[in-house]
Amino acid sequence: MFYFILFLLSQVILFGAWVSGTLDSYQKRFQEIILDAMGETKVSYGLKMSLTGKKLIEDENFSKIQDQLGSELGGAFGKGGAGQGLGSVLSKGL
């Protein structure tokens, strides 16, 4: 019973820190670490997700074109891409 109360207390404290915004800097740093491990920047990942996330036309050929366009544009701003420097600079502001 003691461990359960301790667990609930820690959850309440964690929730309070999250609501107050104390964890925002840690969350941003965690996102950067995960994206870096994937070889992405915030800009490249955002471009990929926004362009490949919702299909504009439900045709298979157009979906393939949209997916390729999203991957290519996102890859251009990712690690090793032609716009890596611009992607890194823009990612710092996000």
pLDDT of 6 > 90? The answer is yes
pLDDT score of 82: 64
Q: Is residue 18 part of a domain?
A: no
* Total tally of structural domains belonging to the chain: 1
Contact 46, 27 (CB under 8 A): no
Q: Is residue 51 part of a domain?
A: yes
**Of residues 18, 75, 26, 81, the one with CA closest to residue 48:** 75
Q: Which domain holds residue 42?
A: 24-92
Cα–Cα distance, 13 to 11 (Å, whole number): 5
Tens of pLDDT, residue by residue over 42-73, are 878 887 887 777 777 777 888 888 878 777 77
| Residue 84: Cβ within 10 Å count | 17
